[in-house]
Structure 1
Amino acid sequence: MHQDYNQDPPPLDTVARIVNIFHEDTIGQEFFDTVLDLFTTFDRTNHFQDRAMFANDRTHILNSILCSFTAADTLPKIQDRIDSYFYICCRIDEYDIRVRPYYQLWSATGHNKELRQALHNFLVQIFVETKGAKPKLHINDKNQLKKMDIREHLVNITTINNEDTLLTFLVLCKLSFQSSMIVDDNQHRLRWIDVVSKLKFSQLTLQQIITTYIDYKEAFNEFTFDIPALIHLITIAHPLPNANYSPFSTFMHLVQNLSLSSEMFYEQFLDIFTLRIRNQYYYFHHVGDLLRALKSRETLFGKYFQVYSTWINEDEVWKMFLYLFENTDLSEMVQNHLVLNLAKRFPTADIDKFYHDIKSAQNRLETITSVHRESYVKVLEAIISAFVDKHRYNTRYCYPLTEQQLKQFFRLALSLSLTYNLKQPPYSLIIERLVFKTGAQSHNKIQKMQLLFEKLIDFDQNLPPTIDPALAIRDEWLNLRLHSQYPPTRFVYDRQETSRRSHRKWKTIHRRHFLTKR
């Protein structure tokens, strides 16, 4: 027993009664009622004591409690007296305020810290032995639970240094939640995020923390661990980069073991993902596997791919696009997300670099399974369309597309196409730019007409023999260019085959007054 007090005079009868009560057989509510009565009596009498005598009585009480953690006849009863021990702790704190001036250099709270540590150690022991079933509170007195302020015992746990600290944290969480359900209304009840937000750092891994919680999850049936709390733990104990193991696999495994919604988790995880993508924290293939896992949740996929395509360099984004199509079926909505974000990223790219990227995608075409090839080509065509549309007329780009480059993109797009639908982008965009932009405004009407036919013939000669050029020209384009100059003009395509090669030519049938004007 501690001897940091004066042996004379002997403690008051009330103090002696408090010291002896720990050796009695009462537990639970009955024990708490007795403790409450004795401390109420002690409070009434100690006001007449001088400060030294009061400090002596306080130390008698404190030492008797500390001894109860080691005495053979008292130790087994503590698990059913937990409420009373928390109550005594808060009363000792109050008494410390009175005795602190008397002790001067020696802190009166030193022994109370020892009491708290002994109590916490015992709580952990019972928590482990019963797999979380105990300890538990036995009283329902709202006012007394407020006075105990069990939640205050959690305040100083800001770092999880080891498993013992984690177990202390968990058992105090259980008792704090139990107390809050009695003390607080629904709006102000304790939440997991209120608890874990006090944590600033963990020397244990995220897996160790959650695995330990799951080992004792029966203790938290009424207040299960939730997503906001998991998100905070990830911020303070995020797995370190490891090329051999994806952090997203870890998160998904933990979410499943905690029986949480993976969709809600990834909604709330997006901010962490954004921050770490900006810092290039994740490995390429880990992000790729995450995006593949999210492809069945199209909206989430769009959000995550948008973040990735915004903060990662163009080469990596293009590699990711190709990676996503490897033996993977992507829904139409996912394809739309790819097009939307890639079209935003690539219009300002260097023309030669973009052509090289599309060429690399073409070279991968044979590795794409026939089931996925149509959607793969569809996305590529949409990306080319966005690029050409931005560059064909827009003068704000440093490198507008030349006719030669337009022809290169046209041939490349044709090599990708499965249907040769030339009236759809990107083919229609390129054809309109190649054929129907007839030159400077200074050209007269006849010169414009001649230039148009020259471009038509040139376009015809650049088409593969199997494609009918008449199917590529929209009537409205012709009407727009010619109808304002002359009466409607009809184009007839005539194909003559020889043994050596195919010849094509455009015949134009004009009304007589057109020939006369010419």
Structure 2
Amino acid sequence: MTSLSSSETFKKFPSRIDSYLYIYRRIEEYLVIVKQSTYWTWAIESNVKQLKDRLFESLAQVFMTNKGLQPNLCAKDKGQLMKMNMIQHLMSMTKIDKQTMNIFFVLCKLSFQSSILIDDHDRLRWKTIISNIQNFGITLQEFISNYIDYELAFREFPFDVPGFIELISKNHPLKYSQESPFRIFIRLCKNLNLNNEEFFEQYRTLFENGIKQKGYKFEYVGDLFSLVGRHDRIFDIYFTIYATNVDLNDLWTMFIYICTNSELNETIQKHLISKLINRTVHASIEDFLRYAKLSEQCMMKLKTEYRPRFLNIFEKIFDAFINIQLTEERYAHRFSESDLKKFLNIGLEMSLTHDLRRPSCLLIIRRLIFQRDTRLVSIADKIKSLFKKLNDFDQDICENNDPMFMIQDEWLQDYLLIIPEDFLRYFNENVYNYLCNNHQNNRWTIYIWKKMIELSIIKSKAENMNEMLFKLNEWMNIVKHNVYNINDTLTIILIISLFELIIVKYTKSILSLPNINNIIDFILQARQEQIHQIDTKQVDEFIQNAEISIQQILLLQGKFYFN
């Protein structure tokens, strides 16, 4: 021990460390033998410990003086190296602090050198070394800073990603540190020349555990998503972990945070849409309305150039939510009329195009207006209810949106009539007058009535056409709508549809028609008024053919067609 303290010996020490380390091991072996024959070994053990401490201090001093380039093992013999067992010295250190840091690093260097010489295929790893440490008296940053000070010592075995991950798991920055741990990790990766993507690939398990245990400050996690926002795979991995392990309210809060604090590039948009849809489609009505309110407030805070990106995300989430909720009855029955109107307003306002033709908006309209009420049995009650719903619907929407591009034929299947039976059975004077007095010239109501009549006629059988016309002509007398009135919109639409879809299509001559004077009068009057887009050319041809038939009769040249 005295020789290790002399300056002369210290100068020669770097070239003799193999000898000192080997001698120390032989002394340990001797101590074991002595302890087998006597219990009074405490003085010897104390001296051996002092020798070890002095030896390690000398190694550390040489290490510091030479910036890690010295000391180095000179021995090449595997047997001798195994006897020296440098790794055992290293593994005996389970605590690191500022006083022992240099000893730790010099033992790391010598252990790596020994490991390579003994078995290059099963060499020592940084992860193994770090996992052995049980107590850190220095911070993560201090550890890396000390390593970098002596980086030249580890050129052949640099600190790697698995070792860094293990170090973080053992010595993680505190949850409430003043700086985001993720920014610390990225900075340290740069200092260590480690690849960021490789680091985050391997850090994912620690991140997941941290999320589950609420070990990260919310803002720091949000900051992480901004930091990796341009890395498609990494963002996907980490946002998936987050979305899977937090409740839906926290996920939406994070969504708002990301949208407010990032550029919302295509990568971020893609993964936000995917994960938010997956978690949100089964949310309650109340929760989604709250999320929509948060989104509306968020949009007002965004830069103008980012708003379209945000609306694109929200639109996709909204569409998916409505598609699931209104096509599966287990959800759809929960929506009240008020709820549906709120969602329709959201769909129109929180949109890039404000287009009512979006599938989600059409689903809402169908549910709001055309959903069948099982309590209503007769077709008359169903249609009266439909007219009422249309009157209660937003009239600005009706006025500004062409129903031809909104209303789908399949929506009307529950409202189709059996003609003429349903008119005669259900549409008495009171019922029909109710419809005529309550359509309010609503653009959508008029269109729907027209489509209902057309589809009902098409559904009817062609061989009963004359009977249909005759009975409808009589029905007009019953309900007192047998005299043409330009304001009798529903009746005019009915007659024009009968003319275009039955009379023109199936009648060879006016002489083959039954006595339908009311219908004929309406046709002629509508032609004269040129209303409701009546095909005047067809009417003119019909009149011309009728005149020719009459002339032929008068000249006894016509052919008679009887019912």
TM-score of the superposed pair, with normalisation by structure 2: 0.71
Are residue 172 (structure 1) and residue 107 (structure 2) matched? yes
Are residue 344 (structure 1) and residue 284 (structure 2) matched? no
User: Aligned match of 1:105 in 9, 30, 40?
Assistant: 40
Q: CA deviation at 1:258?
A: 0.5
Q: Secondary structure at the match of 2:216?
A: coil
Are residue 153 (structure 1) and residue 89 (structure 2) matched? yes
For residue 162 of structure 2, what is the aligned residue in structure 1?
228
C-alpha separation in 2, matches of 1:462 and 1:306: 42
Distance 1:340 1:183, change over 3 A: same
C-alpha separation in 2, matches of 1:306 and 1:166: 39
Distance 1:399 1:277, change over 3 A: farther
1:229-378 correspondence runs (5 A): 229-242=163-176, 244-326=178-260, 328-378=262-312
1:109-508 correspondence runs (5 A): 109-160=45-96, 162-186=97-121, 188-242=122-176, 244-326=178-260, 328-394=262-328, 396=330, 400-440=334-374, 443=377, 455=389, 458-459=392-393, 461=395, 463=397, 465-474=399-408, 477=411, 504=443, 505-507=445-447, 508=449
Contact 1:137-1:175 within 8 A present in 2 as well: yes
User: Aligned match of 1:88 in 23, 41, 49?
Assistant: 23
Distance 1:326 1:72, change over 3 A: closer
Contact 2:379-2:417 within 8 A present in 1 as well: no
Q: CA deviation at 1:101?
A: 2.9
Q: Secondary structure at the match of 2:132?
A: coil
C-alpha separation in 2, matches of 1:387 and 1:69: 77
Contact 2:62-2:70 within 8 A present in 1 as well: yes
Structure 1 residue ranges (4+ consecutive) displaced by more than 6 angstroms after TM superposition: 482-486
Distance 1:362 1:71, change over 3 A: closer
C-alpha separation in 2, matches of 1:375 and 1:321: 13
Q: CA deviation at 1:279?
A: 2.4
- AA aligned to 2:87 is R
Distance 1:128 1:425, change over 3 A: farther
Distance 1:128 1:476, change over 3 A: farther
- AA aligned to 2:274 is L
Q: CA deviation at 1:177?
A: 0.7
Q: Deviations over 1:162-220 (max 9, x none)?
A: 2231211111110111111111132x111111111101220210000010001111100
Distance 1:428 1:201, change over 3 A: farther
Contact 1:126-1:134 within 8 A present in 2 as well: yes
Contact 1:339-1:382 within 8 A present in 2 as well: yes
Contact 1:423-1:472 within 8 A present in 2 as well: yes
C-alpha separation in 2, matches of 1:174 and 1:475: 80
Q: CA deviation at 1:456?
A: 5.5
Contact 1:157-1:199 within 8 A present in 2 as well: yes
Q: Which runs of 5+ in 1 are unaligned?
A: 1-65, 487-500
Q: What RMSD, in angstroms, separates the aligned Cα atoms of the two structures?
A: 3.0
Distance 1:476 1:180, change over 3 A: farther
Distance 1:253 1:334, change over 3 A: same
C-alpha separation in 1, matches of 2:32 and 2:376: 97
C-alpha separation in 1, matches of 2:29 and 2:195: 45
For residue 430 of structure 2, what is the aligned residue in structure 1?
none
C-alpha separation in 2, matches of 1:351 and 1:399: 11
**Number of equivalences:** 437
Which structure's CA Rg is the greater one? 2
Q: CA deviation at 1:431?
A: 2.5
Are residue 77 (structure 1) and residue 12 (structure 2) matched? yes
Q: Secondary structure at the match of 1:112?
A: helix
Q: CA deviation at 1:444?
A: 5.5
C-alpha separation in 1, matches of 2:215 and 2:398: 48
C-alpha separation in 2, matches of 1:464 and 1:155: 80
C-alpha separation in 1, matches of 2:228 and 2:199: 12
Contact 1:445-1:485 within 8 A present in 2 as well: no
Contact 1:90-1:147 within 8 A present in 2 as well: yes
Distance 1:151 1:390, change over 3 A: same
C-alpha separation in 2, matches of 1:427 and 1:339: 19
Distance 1:340 1:110, change over 3 A: same
C-alpha separation in 2, matches of 1:378 and 1:99: 81
Contact 1:392-1:400 within 8 A present in 2 as well: no
Q: CA deviation at 1:398?
A: 10
Contact 1:382-1:425 within 8 A present in 2 as well: no
Contact 1:83-1:139 within 8 A present in 2 as well: yes
C-alpha separation in 1, matches of 2:261 and 2:95: 45
Q: Deviations over 1:312-366 (max 9, x none)?
A: 3444332221121126322334223222322333344442232122023113323
C-alpha separation in 1, matches of 2:47 and 2:329: 80
C-alpha separation in 1, matches of 2:315 and 2:329: 23
C-alpha separation in 2, matches of 1:174 and 1:436: 79
Distance 1:72 1:131, change over 3 A: closer
C-alpha separation in 1, matches of 2:150 and 2:441: 81
Contact 1:180-1:190 within 8 A present in 2 as well: yes
TM-score of the superposed pair, with normalisation by structure 1: 0.76
Q: Deviations over 1:83-131 (max 9, x none)?
A: 1112112212221221113441324443322222111101110110000
C-alpha separation in 1, matches of 2:397 and 2:235: 39
Q: CA deviation at 1:395?
A: 5.0
Q: Secondary structure at the match of 1:270?
A: helix
Contact 1:423-1:473 within 8 A present in 2 as well: no
C-alpha separation in 2, matches of 1:484 and 1:337: 49
Identical aligned residues as a percent: 36
Q: CA deviation at 1:455?
A: 4.8
Contact 1:422-1:471 within 8 A present in 2 as well: no
Q: CA deviation at 1:139?
A: 2.2
Q: Secondary structure at the match of 1:164?
A: coil
C-alpha separation in 2, matches of 1:484 and 1:222: 88
Q: Which runs of 5+ in 2 are unaligned?
A: 420-439, 461-467, 476-563
Distance 1:431 1:120, change over 3 A: same
Contact 2:59-2:106 within 8 A present in 1 as well: yes
Q: CA deviation at 1:418?
A: 2.1
C-alpha separation in 1, matches of 2:51 and 2:333: 77
- AA aligned to 1:336 is K
Q: CA deviation at 1:470?
A: 2.9
Distance 1:283 1:267, change over 3 A: same
